[in-house]
Structure 1
Amino acid sequence: MDLKLHSSLTQVLAIEDTSQVGHARRIAQRLAEQLAFDATDSGRVALVVTELASNILKHASNGELHLRALPGAVAGLEVIAIDRGQGFDLHDCMADGFSTRGTQGIGLGSILRQAQVFDVHTDNRGTVLLTRFYPRLASVKDLRLGVSQHSLHNDPACGDAWEVAIQGRQLSILMIDGLGHGPDAEEAAKAGAFAFNRDPFGDPGLLLDDIHREMHGTRGGAVAVAQFDAAQDQLRFIGIGNIGATLIGEEKTRGLASHPGIVGLQYRKIPAVGYPQCAGQLLIMYSDGLQSRWNLRDYPGLMYRHPAIIAAVLHRDYCRGRDDVTVLVTALETLDD
């Protein structure tokens, strides 16, 4: 699999009253049509979005739907329902016709059949439910990557940027947090992303130098590059500034250290650090719009859910609300041979 993925803001639809259910349905259906879904596939999206939004109102009184286009050889659509309700009995709700509060009762089992990708995490903090849709006739392997990216106050300009490149069994990830927020921060982040995309699998130290030169003249920012080689079962990481990064395995959690400095202005050159035996682990990277004092093990079972669920839970519970925020989660064992 060879693929390049680029920054894109998560579209957030508030679900706080019944009038917003129809609005959410129309927005999601329109996005599906823009992604070349036919009438039947767009109808699947509309049906599920209606049920998800209705469930939020009935079970949690309010929440959000997060929408994101999924780029690739075949474009897809991701819809995540998020609330802070008391959770629910997942086994009961999987049955068609089950409804505690007067929704259509099509059941999560039916939603599972409508969407090609389905996953859910629910506890007393709330529920996050993931659906991903692709055209019915397309043969698509789901990429176990989750991203939640939001600008401060829904500004169209975002000072955070992320990039993902996959080439065979190699994965390279960039995250940038331009200083501050708004258009000037976005300019800095875009300059760094441009340099990364010229050679995403180059030596991390040299790649950081290239990013530094490209960001010179902008306000600069924090930058981190993570490269995973599945054949060697090793991750290499280099970071300057306040990009957080964590490796989470069955037995232990490893924080990946960044160093002081501002890329584009001044920093001390450092070598990339190698982390062996990473296959089967989660890599989580995040800008400082997310609090750093979280522990995935405080959420029983969450580390086994889809990375998109994990990114959404962390954003829901630990967003500072004072800056742009990006959370990227990927499972390192999923690269093809």
Structure 2
Amino acid sequence: MNISGSVTQVLPIDDGSQVGHARRTAQKLAEGQGFDETDAGRVALVATELASNLLKHAGRGELHLRVLPRANGAGIEIVAVDRAAGFDLQACLADGYSTGGTQGIGLGAITRQAEVFDAYADTRGAVLLARLYPRQATKPDLPIAVSQHALNADPACGDTWHVALNEQAISVLVIDGLGHGEEAEQAALAGARAFALVPFNDPLLLIDDLHAAMQGTRGGAVAIAQARLDLGNLRFVGIGNIAASLIGPGKSRGLASHPGIVGGQYRKARSFDFEQVAGQLLILHSDGLQSRWNLGDYPGLAYRHPAVIAAVLHRDFCRGRDDVTVVVIALEASHG
């Protein structure tokens, strides 16, 4: 299965009128993925409750929407993000609780409507995740998450990503085209198209393929990580400033990249192998995200859903002066 990169759709929520817009936008997105009336209605309900919740307890925030491609029945991801302090997550999960003093149905209702619900809250704010799939779809949720944003909501994004997976392996690409805007996007997409043709080739051969495909463009930074989930090992190669980390219980390892520009000039690439990665998190991000983050500063966050982790990192460490992409993958025994 190949999953091509796409930018996260961001809906600001700072006024009551935007709740209805969020509901209609989410429902239309679901209908476009083949959700029937009942399932699209569930998506609309969850979007309404999450948007209303942002206004009630935070005063303002954002809903992040994303399509979740799968071999059998694409899903819809809705993430509510805010920076409000003192959010009582456990109280809000109880039906009948409302921070706005109204009756409310509580976030507990979302846990019954969504196939996946997770959340993280501390003094920095809260992130709430809901993933919904057509009820007849049988494939499990994939522990793969992306938060991708173009600078100033530009229609063109100079970052891109691609994920290929089967029952035994996963291959992940992140590209940051030089600069931002259309020319950076063209460079990144040229590399992604080459990767998608043979995503499970040796990473060093893939770097050569991407280099050839990106010549004549601005070029860019590239990182490729391939994990054999059945064997528990991972191979990584990076050129340029894509940051990559493996995070396990009580430990974190940075994955080294070499200087250079794919499609431009770089010294010979080198791959690095890592053993016993099962159960760890793989995090890759472009330099639109500050590199000084540490999951250890967020107690328990490493055990949340990858989509919650990606949203928290984007919220707290986005530089705000470049495109930004954050990819978070839980390296479990199977992604089938």
Please, what TM-score do these two structures have when normalized by structure 1? Answer: 0.97
The match for 2:180 is: 181
Mapped contact 1:280–1:332 kept (Cα < 8 A): yes
Mapping for residues 84-95 of structure 1, pairs under 5 Å: 84-95=83-94
Tell me, in whole angstroms, the C-alpha distance in 1 between the residues paired with 2:335 and 2:256.
Answer: 28
Alpha-carbon shift at residue 251 of structure 1 (Å):
2.3
Q: 1:69 aligns with which of 67, 70, 74?
A: 67
The match for 1:28 is: 26
Mapped contact 1:307–1:329 kept (Cα < 8 A): yes
Alpha-carbon shift at residue 313 of structure 1 (Å):
0.3
Mapped contact 2:282–2:330 kept (Cα < 8 A): yes
Q: Matched residues, percent identical?
A: 66
Tell me, in whole angstroms, the C-alpha distance in 2 between the residues paired with 1:88 and 1:197.
Answer: 42
The match for 1:157 is: 156
Alpha-carbon shift at residue 91 of structure 1 (Å):
2.4
Mapped contact 1:246–1:285 kept (Cα < 8 A): yes
- Structure 1 unaligned regions, length at least 5: none
The match for 2:141 is: 142
The match for 2:39 is: 41
* Matched residue SS, 2:196: helix
Which string of whole-angstrom CA distances, capped at 9 and with x for unpartnered residues, describes residues 240-289 of structure 1?
00000000000210000111000001101122100111111000000000
Please, what TM-score do these two structures have when normalized by structure 2? Answer: 0.97
Tell me, in whole angstroms, the C-alpha distance in 1 between the residues paired with 2:90 and 2:167.
Answer: 38
Tell me, in whole angstroms, the C-alpha distance in 2 between the residues paired with 1:331 and 1:30.
Answer: 30
* Matched residue SS, 2:174: strand
Alpha-carbon shift at residue 107 of structure 1 (Å):
1.5
What amino acid does structure 1 have at the position aligned with 2:70?
A: G
Mapping for residues 211-250 of structure 1, pairs under 5 Å: 211-250=210-249
Mapped contact 1:51–1:103 kept (Cα < 8 A): no
The match for 2:111 is: 112
Tell me, in whole angstroms, the C-alpha distance in 1 between the residues paired with 2:154 and 2:319.
Answer: 16
Matched residue count: 335
* Matched residue SS, 1:267: coil
What amino acid does structure 1 have at the position aligned with 2:279?
A: G
The match for 2:199 is: 200
Alpha-carbon shift at residue 132 of structure 1 (Å):
0.6
Tell me, in whole angstroms, the C-alpha distance in 1 between the residues paired with 2:115 and 2:332.
Answer: 21
What amino acid does structure 2 have at the position aligned with 1:122?
A: A
The match for 2:12 is: 14
Tell me, in whole angstroms, the C-alpha distance in 2 between the residues paired with 1:101 and 1:20.
Answer: 17
Tell me, in whole angstroms, the C-alpha distance in 2 between the residues paired with 1:8 and 1:87.
Answer: 33
Tell me, in whole angstroms, the C-alpha distance in 2 between the residues paired with 1:211 and 1:93.
Answer: 48
* Matched residue SS, 2:107: helix
* Matched residue SS, 2:195: helix
What amino acid does structure 2 have at the position aligned with 1:66?
A: H
Tell me, in whole angstroms, the C-alpha distance in 1 between the residues paired with 2:89 and 2:69.
Answer: 30
Tell me, in whole angstroms, the C-alpha distance in 2 between the residues paired with 1:104 and 1:239.
Answer: 52
Tell me, in whole angstroms, the C-alpha distance in 1 between the residues paired with 2:171 and 2:124.
Answer: 33
Tell me, in whole angstroms, the C-alpha distance in 2 between the residues paired with 1:158 and 1:22.
Answer: 28
Mapping for residues 251-262 of structure 1, pairs under 5 Å: 251-262=250-261
Q: Does 1:301 align with 2:290?
A: no
Tell me, in whole angstroms, the C-alpha distance in 2 between the residues paired with 1:132 and 1:336.
Answer: 17
Structure-2 change in CA distance of 1:244 and 1:336 (3 Å): closer
Alpha-carbon shift at residue 334 of structure 1 (Å):
4.2
What amino acid does structure 1 have at the position aligned with 2:162?
A: E
* Matched residue SS, 1:266: coil
Q: 1:53 aligns with which of 51, 59, 66?
A: 51
Mapped contact 1:144–1:334 kept (Cα < 8 A): no
Greater mean alpha carbon deviation, residues 43-52 or residues 277-286: 43-52
Alpha-carbon shift at residue 208 of structure 1 (Å):
0.3
The CA RMSD measured in Å over matched residues stands at 1.1
Alpha-carbon shift at residue 97 of structure 1 (Å):
1.1
Alpha-carbon shift at residue 27 of structure 1 (Å):
0.7
Tell me, in whole angstroms, the C-alpha distance in 2 between the residues paired with 1:196 and 1:39.
Answer: 37
The match for 1:314 is: 313
Which string of whole-angstrom CA distances, capped at 9 and with x for unpartnered residues, describes residues 122-147 of structure 1?
11100000001111222130000110
